[in-house]
Amino acid sequence: MITLSGTRGRKNTLVGLSALALVSVIAACGSASGGGSTPAASATASPCASNTVLSATCDTKTQAAVTLTGAGANSIEPFFETVFYGYNQKNSQTTVNYSPAGSSVGVSDIQQGTVNFGDSEIPMTSSQLAAATGGTVLQIPVDLGGVAISYNVPGAPANLKLDGSTLAGIFDGSITNWDSPLIAAVSGVSNLPNLAIKAVHRADASGPGYDLDQYLIDTAPAWVTAIGTSTPSRTWPLATVGIGEQLNTGVATYVSQTSGSVGFVEYGYALQNGFVNAAILDAAGAYVAPTEASIALAGAQATSLSSTNFNVVNETGAGVYPLANFSWTLVYQKQSETTTAIALGKLLDWVVTTGQQDAAALGYAPLPANVASLAQKTILEIEGSTGTPLFSS
């Protein structure tokens, strides 16, 4: 038994406690100085707490510390992580936590008001909007991604040309071998090996699955017959054909190690892992491979983008990649707390403007100008507790 009897014991305790206190103080100093060492904005910048000009910088030293929480899609996590980190470097008083538990969780979290913002790969439906407890939900497009069709066929060229009906045949099991004449006819490559096609789809519900489903519905009548509906779904509709793997990682791992396999992944994933991707037939009749540029062009075609008109799959235009989609951030229009609201608005403005510079390196395309201004216009609709718009542009 340890007994702290006598002065010796008491002295040890005192030393221990003061050492602990010293360490905590040093640690606290260290973490506080970590963010604020960057040169502050110009001395004439107004305090952040009351600065409601959306894109203006404010004097961060006077801002109260704010922690914002968000939840939603797993796929946007790398982008959010990078952008929020960069924002925190410039504005140390704002900390942002994001939980990548899935679009569904993000939607229900915002419905219940558990988070400051949600994120979903598909905008909320009208019934979901009606179930939101805090009033109107604003939906802001924050990034633009694409879906790559990656394959592992030894001897096949890069950017193999494929169209909707061939893809439908691959994924509904009617085309079973790579040397099928149907593939040769479309791709123009007649010497593909005699290798069984192992089609892998997303076992979990996903944005990429939704996009490919939408594309196949638009371009292949056989697909509509096979799945029995013409409404796209985030859950892959023909799960009884081929293999289903979890998350982008599952599909990517299977494709990279299995000869004859073909699957769909986020373009960023394909880029980082050096996958070989198919060139897909677009609405203009050309075969387009996924690149940052072709995805950006797809987004730019969305001239009347809104949360009810969000589909950018198979857009018409030159060099447009047919498999692209936006990711949508969800915030309540009416914010009850002004400090939080200002921090939130400015954060989102950063995300859709300066933050887009991080997009390309991560495999996304930066928001096209028209979409970025739509996003900013939506942010301007955020209201304070008084019910009037909080920000001016």
Residues near other proteins, by CB under 8 A: 69, 74, 77-78, 81-82, 85, 97-105, 107-108, 111-114, 121, 125, 127-128, 131, 196, 198, 203-206, 213, 227-229, 233-237, 239-240, 242-250, 252-254, 257-258, 266, 268-269, 271-273, 361-363
7 by DSSP, 3-state: which? Answer: helix
115 by DSSP, 3-state: which? Answer: coil
Sheet with 287-288: list strands edge to edge.
161-162, 279-281, 287-288
b/e map of 350-368 (b: 16 or more CB within 10 Å)?
bbbbebbebbeebbbbbbb
Smallest distance, other proteins to C-beta of residue 82, A: 4
* Of 358, 393, 346, residue with least CA distance to 116: 346
Residue number, 24 or 55, with CB nearest to other proteins? 24
Q: Are 184 and 170 contacting, i.e. CB atoms less than 8 angstroms apart?
A: no
Smallest distance, other proteins to C-beta of residue 9, A: 21
How far does Cα 244 stand from its chain's mean position? 22
Dihedral angle, C-alpha 374, 380, 383, 386, nearest 10 °: -150
Smallest distance, other proteins to C-beta of residue 392, A: 30
Residue number, 187 or 206, with CB nearest to other proteins? 206
390 by DSSP, 3-state: which? Answer: coil
Smallest distance, other proteins to C-beta of residue 249, A: 4
Q: E-strand spans in the chain? A: 66-72, 94-99, 117-120, 137-152, 161-162, 198-202, 243-245, 261-266, 276-277, 279-281, 287-288, 324-332
Smallest distance, other proteins to C-beta of residue 137, A: 13
Residue number, 336 or 393, with CB nearest to other proteins? 336
Say how many C-beta atoms besides its own lie within 10 A of residue 316's C-beta.
Answer: 11
Q: Show Cβ contacts of residue 241 under 8 Å, excluding neighbours closer than 6 positions.
A: 171, 172, 173, 199
Residue number, 184 or 195, with CB nearest to other proteins? 195
Smallest distance, other proteins to C-beta of residue 179, A: 17
Residue number, 355 or 368, with CB nearest to other proteins? 355
Residue number, 100 or 141, with CB nearest to other proteins? 100
Smallest distance, other proteins to C-beta of residue 223, A: 12
Residue number, 54 or 175, with CB nearest to other proteins? 175
